[in-house]
């Protein structure tokens, strides 16, 4: 078997003329510059421009409606069904198109810092800078582990390939399609690199709950006393900023799992939003973003490569992608003990919640599942420049393929040193109550349904905490005189 055939083994892509497999940063940057994929900043970072797509194309995300997973998918506006035959046809065309490219780049990588909950990922892409992005973002295996590397999931990345809505059943020329049966991700018609990392986060969200692990859209860091803190939030709400603390060690900035033994990072890199980044406020992210090996996405610079991090002419969603070890005090193992502190970043731009509140365990569970927050400008295509209120379950509703199926809190204590796990069953939430300033405790009862012991949430009164006032008179007053309001779509999986 030739080197090219080995690099493409298991992907279904016909052997291309040249395949560059597992190049390191210097080789990838060299190819990217020779191919005019971008340019270098004055500090040596690679600057790429993604064109029309400067955020995730949430409305172009599809999950293949395979019979074995049909009843387990959280179908809706985000996880749209794609018939199996449509996916097979599209995948065949993408594979043939990739095989016709003169040059391809592949990367063999891990997702999951805990070896017990790790998957092997192979990326096939047409651009060197996208390969560098993936290499920075995921966990890089030692060289000796690349021999005989067999992927569990394959990402076929074809950013210049445009899908045909009539033929492929897509909404536009862009499509992100995931088949759990084929263990394949197709990304076509978008150069925004965030689609690569988030597609694997969706895969991990699908796989890990069956193994008793809670997948989390959060950052994590570790104190000097061994205390782990989690920061939940949607993209752009401050996870990377708050977790990159010189006084604490960074575990990861975006995607983690919570098992019986502690938390672990899914990734090996960071994807920091850098619009208006300053060295004084965020020195670690600043330093990491001004060096060779970094990918700067849609960041503006002058003719000399000096960066203008205040320039949002391309997008508000400017990004820096760098390996985790670019942060001096990062936890090299990507793992930490069971968390003692959990912070939920609501990005509440509308004054619905107090600026800061210490929640009781029941309140924390409620807010985790209801996920009142805001979608930040630029992080998704079409969001515009103003934040949009939304309910994003578990602070990551656009990302999982399966619905949250229940909540179990073990050994719940007032300091939130508790394990919160999504397990078998399901929850039903009255999201209107949160909007009207009312909070309700979730109580779990066995559901007498045929075939298993599921759980449902029943809601009862909850005692107010020291900083949380469910009966705050200002909240009803804000809505006084409005009369009945029709249901409004807030962009999540439910309606208000």
By annotation, the residues acting in catalysis are 56, 198, 217, 235, 239-240, 254, 319
* Separation of alpha carbons 140 and 117, rounded Å: 16
Report how far residue 290's alpha carbon sits from residue 132's, in angstroms, rounded to the nearest whole number. Answer: 16
At which residue do the structure tokens 């990918």 appear? 295
Residue 393 per-residue DSSP state: G
Q: Which 8-state DSSP code applies to residue 25?
A: H
Question: 493 Cβ partners below 8 Å, 6+ apart?
Answer: 74, 76, 77, 78, 391, 393, 397, 403
Q: Is the dihedral of CA 143, 217, 59, 178 positive or negative?
A: positive
8 Å CB contact between 417 and 409: no
Q: What's the longest Cα–Cα distance across the chain?
A: 74
Query: Containing H/E element for 426?
Result: none
User: What number of H helices and E strands is found in the chain?
Assistant: 11, 28
Q: How far apart are the first and last CA of the chain?
A: 57
Show the DSSP H helices in 20-169 as ranges.
25-34, 84-99, 128-137, 165-168
Beta partners for residue 18, in sequence order? 103
Q: Cα 338 to chain center, whole Å?
A: 21
């Amino acid at each position: 078997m030739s080197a090219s055939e080995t690099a493409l083994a298991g992907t279904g892509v016909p052997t291309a003329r040249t395949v560059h497999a597992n190049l390191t940063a210097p080789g990838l940057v060299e190819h990217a510059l020779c191919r005019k994929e971008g340019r270098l900043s004055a500090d040596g970072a690679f600057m790429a421009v993604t064109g029309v797509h400067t955020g995730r194309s949430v409305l172009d995300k599809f999950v293949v409606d395979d019979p074995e997973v049909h009843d387990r998918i959280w179908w809706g506006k985000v996880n749209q069904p794609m018939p199996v035959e449509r996916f097979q046809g599209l995948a065949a065309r993408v594979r043939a198109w990739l095989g016709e490219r003169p040059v391809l780049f592949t990367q063999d990588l891990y997702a999951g810092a805990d070896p017990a909950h790790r998957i092997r990922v192979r990326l096939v892409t047409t651009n060197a800078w996208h390969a560098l992005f993936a290499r920075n973002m995921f966990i890089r295996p030692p060289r000796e582990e690349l021999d005989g590397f067999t992927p569990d999931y394959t990402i076929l990345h074809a950013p210049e390939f445009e899908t045909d809505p009539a033929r492929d059943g897509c909404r536009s020329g862009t499509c992100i399609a995931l088949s759990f049966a084929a263990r394949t991700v197709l990304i076509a018609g978008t150069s925004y690199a965030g689609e690569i990392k988030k597609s694997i986060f969706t895969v991990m969200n699908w796989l890990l709950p069956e193994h008793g692990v809670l997948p989390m859209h959060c950052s994590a860091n570790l104190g000097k006393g061994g205390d782990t803190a989690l920061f939940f939030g949607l993209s752009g709400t401050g996870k990377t900023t708050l977790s990159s603390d010189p006084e604490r060690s960074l575990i990861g900035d975006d995607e983690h799992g919570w098992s019986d033994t502690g938390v672990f990072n899914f990734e090996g890199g960071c994807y920091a939003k850098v619009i208006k980044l300053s060295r004084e406020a965020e020195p670690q992210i600043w330093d990491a973003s001004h060096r060779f090996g970094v990918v700067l996405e849609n960041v503006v610079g002058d003719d000399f490569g000096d960066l203008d991090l205040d320039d949002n002419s391309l997008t508000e969603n400017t990004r820096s992608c760098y390996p985790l070890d670019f942060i001096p005090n990062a936890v090299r193992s990507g793992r930490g003990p069971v968390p003692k502190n959990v912070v939920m970043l609501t990005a509440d731009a509308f004054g619905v919640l107090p600026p800061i509140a210490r929640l009781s365990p029941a309140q924390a569970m409620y807010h985790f599942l209801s996920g009142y927050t805001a979608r930040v400008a630029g992080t998704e295509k079409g969001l515009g420049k103003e934040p949009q209120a939304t309910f994003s379950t578990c602070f990551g509703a656009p990302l999982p393929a399966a619905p949250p199926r229940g909540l179990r809190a073990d050994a719940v204590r007032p300091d939130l040193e508790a394990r919160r796990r999504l397990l078998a069953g399901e929850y039903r939430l009255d999201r209107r109550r949160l909007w009207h300033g009312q909070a309700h405790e979730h109580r779990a009862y066995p559901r007498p349904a045929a075939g298993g012991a599921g759980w449902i949430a029943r809601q009862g009164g909850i005692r107010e905490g020291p900083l949380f006032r469910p009966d705050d008179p200002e909240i009803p007053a804000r809505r006084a005189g409005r009369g009945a309001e029709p249901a409004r779509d807030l962009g999540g999986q439910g309606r208000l």
